[in-house]
Structure 1
Amino acid sequence: MTTDAPFRELLPETRSFPPPAELAATSNVDAGAWDRAAADPVAFWEEAARRLDWAEPWTTAHRWSPALQADGTLAPPEAEWFAGGRLNVAVNCVDRHVEAGLGEKVAYYFEGERGDRRVLTFAELRREVSKAAHALTELGIGQGDRVVVYLPVIPETVIIALAVARVGAIHSLVFGGFSAEALRFRVEDTAAKLLVTSDGQFRRGKAVPVKANADAAAAGLEHLEHVLVVRRTGEETPDLAWTDGRDVWWHELVDRQPEVHEAEAFDAENPLFIIYTSGTTGKPKGLVHTSGGYLTGASWTHWAAFDAKPDDVHWCTADLAWVTAHTYELYGPLANGTTQVIYEGTPDAGEAGAADRERHLRIIERYGVTVYYTAPTLVRTLMTWFPDGVPDGHDLSSIRLLGSVGESINPEAWMWFREQLGRGETPIVDTWWQSETGAAVMAPIPGLSTLKPGSATKALPGLRTLVVDDAGREVPPGAGGYLVVAGTWPSMARTVWGNPQRYLDSYWARFAEQGYFFSGDGAKADADGDIWLLGRVDDVINVSGHRLSTIEIESALVAHPLVGEAGVTGADDPTTGEAVVAFVIPAREGLDEDAVAAELRAHVAQVIGPIAKPRAIHLTPELPKTRSGKIMRRLLRDIVDGRPLGDTTSLQEPEGPARIAARLRG
C-alpha cells in the first residue's frame, strides 16, 4: 500500500470461529438473504417492513433524490421510505403484543442502582404509556411538537418516549449527566415545548440533584411551556425550586389519566426522534429519524443480528439517551416482543453504596440474561477488574449471545469476552453502525457468519459497505481506506435538524459522484471481504509519511498483559511530523511507570514494527470517553500538545481530561 493511502495496515488477525451448529439450525436468517437483498434491495426492505402492523399500506416503497444534481451542483439529498403508509410506532412496540395474547409477558425488568426493582409486563407498559399519552395531550403536545427528555435509565424514560411516539410528537433524549449548557442547547435547538426531567438521580451511591440543571436550561425560553418532573430521589434532594404554571409533577399529572388511549396512525416519514452527536468538537448535529423506515430497520436488524427468540432476555447496557439504546433497548426489541433488562447505575455501583465490580454479573444471573450487548470499553474495564478471570460463584449459563458496540473491539478484548462471559463458545455479535445509520449496518448473523476477533464481518442483507480511496475507488484487500455505505436504507437519518446543508456537507458531499454515504471511519477489508475498523479518519497518525491507525496500535498494547485499556493519539514532532503517544490504563496497580513504558514501547515495535513505536507512554487511571464508550483521541491530542480542552460536558467524566492533563504536567 502506498503511503498516501488513508491508512496503513499494521496488525493481521488470523483466528476465526465458525457458527455453532445449534445456532445454524435455528437461525432467523437463511444463507440466501444476501443474494435476495442484492437482487432487489427495495423489495427486501418491503418484506422487512411487513413484519410491522400498518394502518394503511404504503403506495411508493422508496424515493431518492441524490446529492449530485443533473446540472452538476450539489444539494441536500432527500430520502423517503414507504411513502403513503401509516402506522403508530408505540402500537407496534406495545399494543399489538398485548392484542396477540402476550400481555402478561415481561417487557422490562428494571433494577435501580440501590437495588429497587420493578417488573413491567406488556399489558402494564401499555397502560402506563396510554396514561402518559393522555398527559401529553393535556399539556398541549401533539404531532410534530418536540419533547426533550432529561432522565436516567428508569421506566419513566421508556414510558415517556413511547408516549411521545404515540401522539406523533418528536422526542430528543439527553443523557442525565450532561451539564445545563449541553441540555439548554438541545432544548433551544429543537424549540421544545416540553422538558421532562427528575428531581434527582442516583449516581455511585449518592442522590444527585438534577432539576436545577433543567431550570438553568429552561430559563428564558419562551417556546418551552412546561417542565414535567419525575420524583426519583425525593427527600434526599431537598430545596427543589418550583415554577408555578410551568412545572408539573409526573405523579400528579400522569397517574390520574385514563388507562386506555386510542392511538392515531401517522405517516411513515413522520419524524420520530432527534438525536444529537456528542459534540466534543464543534456544534452537535441533531439527526432526524422518521417512523416507518427507522422502525423497520430497528426491528429487522434486532431480529436478524441478535437472532431474537421468544424466550430471550435481552440486555443492552447503554444509557437510554444513546442511539444504541433507542434501537436495541427501546424500539427494536419492543417491536419484536422481546423481554429486556434496564439498569440505572454504573457497572461498579453496589446496592448499599459501596463499589461492587460484580454488579453486572449479578444482574445477568438474577434475570437469566440471554443476550448481553455492551461496549468494548466496559469489556476492557472488566479485564482490568478481573485479570485472573471472572470470579467464581456466578451462573452465567443463560448467555447465548454476546454483543459489542461503540467502537472497534480489540482482538484480545474480544477473546477475553468470549472466554470469560461466553464460556469459550458463545458468538459475539460485533456491530458497526452510527447515530446517522439508525441501526446496525455491519454485523454477523450468529448462525451463519464465521467470526474473526475484532471484525464486524460484512454488511447485513439489504446494505452494502465499501472501503475506498480519496477518489471513491474501492481499494484492494488489506489496504486501508474510507468506509462508505452505498445506496440508501430505511433507518438512515433524513437530515440534520434545522440545517440540511450540514447534512450534505458532513455525509454526502465528499463522495457525491458515487452516491456514497461517508461514515468518517477508516477501515480495511480482508481477502474474505470482512471489514476491520481502523478508527476515525481524523485520528490517523502520520509518522514520516506513514499513515497509521490508532485502533491497531491500541490493539497491540491491549494484547500485552500489563495493559487494561489504551488510547493512542498523535503529537507534533519536529523530525517525523507526528509521533505516536499512548495513554495506558494498567491492568494492575503499583507498576513502575518508566519500566512499563519501556517494555510496552519494545512490545509495539516487535508486534507491529519500529514505525509504530510510541514516542511516549503515560500510565493513567482513566481515558476521556463519550457516554457511548468511545475514546476521544482528539482530546488526548489536545492534552499532549498543550491546547485548551474546550467543551467536555458530553463525556462520561467531564473533568477527566483536566485530571489527565494535570497528571501529565506533574
Structure 2
Amino acid sequence: MTADNTPSSPDVTPEGANSAYAQAYARWQADPEEFWREASGAISWVRAPSRIFDPQEGVYGRWFPDATLNASYNAIDRHVDAGRGSQPAIIYDSPVTDSKRVISYNGLLSEVQTLAAVLADLGVTQGDRVIIYMPMIPEAVIGMLAVARLGAIHSVVFGGFAAPELATRIEDTEPKVILTASCGIEPSRVVAYKPLLDEALRLADARPAVLVFQRPQARAELVEGRDHDWAGLVERAREAGLSAPPVPVKATDPLYILYTSGTTGKPKGVVRDTGGYLVALAWTMKNLYDIKPGEVFWTASDIGWVVGHSYIVYGPLINGSTTVIYEGKPVGTPDAGAFWRVIGEYNVAALFTAPTALRAIRKEDPHSKLLPPYDLSKLRTLFLAGERADPDTVNWARDTLKIPVIDHWWQTETGWAITGNPVGLGVLPVKAGSSTVPMPGYDVRIVDEGNNEVPAETMGSIVIRLPLPPGCLPTLWRNDERFRDGYLSEFPGAYKTSDAGFKDRDGYIFIMGRTDDIINVAGHRLSTGGMEEVLASHPAVAECAVIGIADSLKGEVPCGFVVLKSGVTDNPADIEKDLIARVREQIGPVAAFRLAITVGRLPKTRSGKILRGTMKKIADGQAWSLPATIEDPQSLDEIAEALKSHGL
C-alpha cells in the first residue's frame, strides 16, 4: 500500500472508462471536499456547512463539523413545504394481517409531530436515547422520525429479540423511553413482545418509560407507573393540539445507534452521525439507485437492519419518494409470488432485497409460474445486498425479470454502498459475481497481511483508506478505543472491512466472503465463495453454503451444504456425487472437496444471512450459542444431524 492518502483509481472497463461514473469518481479524487460540498446541496440545512471536513476532530476526522440540521425535517417537512404533501410517503402492506394503508407526507408529518410531542412530554430531549422494539408497521417508522425530530437518538432492536440480547442494548444505551408494540405477526404464529421486554428490563435493572402500541392479535398487560398506551397518549395530544417542531442538531451529532454482533460477545453500537448520513443517502438515491421524487422504492428488509434504516426510512423519504413497509415473507405469505404482487400493485420502480429472498422464491417456483399474473412493467432495476450474490442467482433473476440485476456491497458500519453499479450515472457492464466498482468516497484496496497491495486477480483482505466518506461510522457508542482496536489498528491508515476478495484487471471488486470464510487447505488459501458458485450452478440446487471443517492432516477441508429445488426427484446421493465432481473439475483437486450434504434448509438470520460461523462450530465440535438473530432455531439441529449422519 502506498504511504500517501492519494485515492487509487479504479480502472473501469473500456466501455465505462469515459462514463459518468468515471468522471464522478475522478472529481472526488481530485477534490474530495468540493465533491461532498456539492453533494450537500441536496439537503436542507439550518446552518449550511462552511467547513466540509476536519481531520482533527473525532477518531479519523468529522464531516460538516460546523453545520446544523434536522433529519425529520429533511424527511418530511420540506416536501410538504414544497407542495407535495398529498403524495404517498409510506405504503404499508401486511399479508400476515391482511391489511394495507397509505400515508401521505401530510399524514406522516401530523403523526410524527404528535408522537414527538408525546415523547417530549415523557421527558425526551436532545441527546437522549430511545429504544424502538417493534415489528414492521408504520408506527415503527413514525417512532424513528419522532425521535429524530426532538434531536434525540434512536436505537432500533428487532421486535421479538431475545430478552438477554435486548437487555444488553438497554444497559448500553440507557434509554429515556422504549417504544414497543404488543406483538409481532409471523406467518405461523403471534409473538408477544411485552413479556420479552419486561424480562429485559428486569435483567438490565432499568425503568424507562414504555410506550406500547396495542395490536388486536395480542394485547399487552401494562405496568402501572411505567407503561403507557400509545394510542391513548397520541389521541390526547392530538386533541390538545400538541405538536413538536424539529430541533436543530449538529451534523456530527448521532442520529442513531445500531448494534451489530461483536466478537467478544458484547454487541457493538455503531454510531451514525446526522449530516454526513443524510448527504450520502441523498447522493445514492439519485446516482446509485436512480430513483426520482414521487417514485416507489421498495426495500424488502426490516428496520432492525441497517438496510432498513437507510433505504426503508431515511433514503427514500429524504429523496421525496414513496417507500414500502412490507410485513411478510418472500414465500409463504401466501406464496412465492408475493414479491411480484407487491411490485405490480404499487408500481415499484426498484426493488432492493437480499439474494436469499430470490433463492427462496426460486426454490418454491423454479419456473416462475407465479410471475405472469402481475404487471412488472414499472420495475426498472433489482438491487441485491446483504450477502454475496452468487452468479447463478443473479443470472436467474436477470433472465426472469428482464431487467438489470445490480449487486452491491456494504456493511452496517458504512451505512451505504462501498461498491456498486451506479444506475443513475449509467449502468456499467455487469460481471456476475462482482459488486462492480467503488463509489466516490471509498478508496478500496486489496492487501496482504503486511498491509501491502497485492496484484490484480489476487485474493487478499479488503480495506478502505481513511478517511471514510460521509455517512460511515465515526466511532462506536461511547467506545473510541474499541473502534480503533477493532477496525483501524490491523491495517494502519485504513479501515478493516473483515471481508476478503480481489480486484480484477478492470478495477471490478469481487467479494468472496468474510476473511473467516477463506479456508487454508494444506497451505492453499481458498475461497468458500468460489466453491459455492460451483455448487449453485447445478440445476438441482436452490441454495448452498460451504464451510471449512478442521482436519488434522490438511488443517481445514471444505464441506458443502445444499438445499434442492422443489420438485427435484433425483436421488440426493447422486446429486452429492455430481457436486463433488463439479468442484474437483472447476476448482481442482487442491480444494480437497469430498463432502456435499443435502439438507432441507440452511440456518439463517432474519435478514437472510447464512450462519456459516455457527455451522462451522457445530462441525468442529466447539461450544456454540444460539445466535440472537436466527430465523429458525431448529435449522441448526438439522445441520448437526446431517453432520452426524455423515460421521462428523
TM-score normalised according to structure 2 size: 0.92
Residue type at the aligned position of 2:412: S
SS in 2 for 1:254: helix
- The residue type equivalent to 2:340 in the other structure is L
How far residue 82 of structure 1 moved from its aligned partner, in angstroms, is 0.6
The one-letter code matched in structure 2 to 1:185 is T
Aligned pairs, number: 623
- For 1:100 and 1:51, the matched residues in 2 are separated by 14
User: Do the aligned partners of 2:291 and 2:349 also contact (CA within 8 Å) in 1?
Assistant: no
CA offset at residue 390 of structure 1? 4.7
Question: Do the aligned partners of residues 18 and 78 (structure 1) sit closer, same or farther apart at CA in structure 2, a change above 3 Å counting?
Answer: closer
- The one of 208, 212, 218 aligned to 1:237: 218
Residue 261 of structure 2 is aligned with which of 275, 278, 300? 278
- What is the distance in 2 between the residues matched to 1:264 and 1:123? 19
2:227 is the alignment partner of 1:247: yes
1:603 aligns with 2:582: yes
2:373 to 393, 396, 403: 393
Q: Which residue of 2 aligns with 1:490?
A: 470
Kindly state the Cα deviation for residue 175 of structure 1 after the two structures are TM-superposed: 1.2
Deviation at 1:105, TM superposition (A): 0.8
1:356 aligned residue: 335
Task: Give me the whole-angstrom Cα distance separating, in 2, the residues matched to 1:176 and 1:653.
Answer: 15
Does residue 156 in structure 1 map to residue 139 in structure 2?
A: yes
The aligned residue for residue 173 of structure 1 is 156
**Structure 1 counterpart of 2:410, from 413, 425, 433:** 433
CA shift, 1:64, in A, is 2.2
**How far did 1:93 drift?**
0.6
Amino acid at match of 1:400: R
From 461, 464, 471, the counterpart of 2:443 = 464
Q: 1:654 aligns with which of 633, 637, 641?
A: 633
Matched, 1:535 2:526: no
Counting aligned pairs with the same residue, the percent is 38
Which amino acid in 2 is paired with 1:382? I
Matches within 5 A, 1:539-578: 539-578=517-556
SS at match of 1:552: helix
**1:316 deviation in Å?**
0.3
Q: 1:227 to 1:260 in 2, by over 3 A?
A: closer
Provide the secondary structure at the position in 1 that maps to 2:303.
coil
CA distance in 2, matches of 1:458, 1:197: 40
Structure 1 residues 177 and 591, CA gap change in structure 2 (3 angstroms) = farther
- The alignment status of 1:190 with 2:173, answered yes or no, reads yes
Give the Å deviation of 1:65.
Answer: 4.5
- In 2, the alpha carbon distance for the partners of 1:649 and 1:330 equals 24
Counterpart Cα distance in 1 of 2:258 and 2:34:
28
* Distance verdict in 2 for CA 1:503–1:223, change over 3 Å: same
Q: What is the Cα deviation at residue 655 of structure 1? A: 3.8
Q: Distance in 2 between matches of 1:444 and 1:249?
A: 46
Q: Distance in 2 between the 1:281 and 1:635 partners?
A: 15
Task: Provide the alpha-carbon RMSD of the alignment.
Answer: 2.0
2:277 corresponds to which of 278, 285, 294: 294
Which of 430, 435, 440 is the matching residue for 1:451?
A: 430
**Judging changes above 3 Å, is the alpha-carbon distance between structure 1 residues 654 and 171 closer, same or farther for their aligned structure 2 residues?**
farther
Q: Bigger shift: 537-546 or 197-206?
A: 197-206
Q: Is the 8 A contact 1:295 1:491 kept in 2?
A: yes
Q: Is the 8 A contact 2:68 2:251 kept in 1?
A: yes
Is 2:89–2:104's contact at 8 Å kept on the other side of the alignment?
yes
User: Does the alignment pair 1:504 with 2:484?
Assistant: yes
- Return the letter of the residue paired with 2:431: K
Tell whether the 8 Å contact from 1:277 to 1:285 is kept in structure 2 after alignment: yes
Which stretch of the first structure deviates more once superposed, 383-392 or 37-46? Answer: 383-392
Find the residue that maps to 1:506 and give its secondary structure.
helix
Paired with 1:182 and 1:267, the residues of 2 have a C-alpha distance of 31
- Among 487, 494, 499, which residue is 1:521 paired with? 499
How many Å apart are 1:222 and its aligned residue?
5.3
Identify which of 26, 30, 35 aligns with 1:35: 26
SS of corresponding position for 2:525:
strand
Q: Distance in 1 between matches of 2:49 and 2:281?
A: 18
- Alpha-carbon contact 1:127-1:259 (below 8 Å) kept: no
Contact 2:386–2:607 under 8 Å retained in 1? yes
Tell me if the contact between 1:182 and 1:650 (Cα under 8 Å) persists in the aligned partners. Answer: no
CA distance in 1, matches of 2:634, 2:280: 37
- Decide whether the 8 Å contact of 1:305 with 1:429 is kept in 2: no
Q: State the partner residue of 2:321.
A: 338
Distance 1:329 1:376 in 2: 17
Aligned match of 2:355 in 371, 376, 394? 376
Q: What is the Cα deviation at residue 663 of structure 1?
A: 3.9
- Kindly indicate whether residue 561 of structure 2 is the aligned counterpart of residue 583 of structure 1: yes
Q: Which has the higher contact order (CA 8 A, sep 6+)?
A: 1
| Structure 1 partner of 2:196 | 213
Segments of 5+ residues of structure 2 without an aligned counterpart are 1-12
- Tell me if 1:84 matches 2:46: no
Give the secondary-structure state (helix, strand or coil) at the position aligned to 1:309.
coil
Q: TM-score, normalised by structure 1?
A: 0.90
Distance, in Å, in 2 between the alignment partners of 1:266 and 1:397 is 42
- Partners of 2:264 and 2:540 lie apart in 1 by 32
Displacement of 1:521 in angstroms is 0.3
User: Matches of 2:174 and 2:147 in 1, distance apart?
Assistant: 16
The residue aligned with 2:387 is 407
* Most deviating of 139-148 and 583-592: 583-592
Alignment of 1:1-150 (within 5 A): 31-65=22-56, 77-112=59-94, 113-150=96-133
Distance 2:185 2:131 in 1: 20
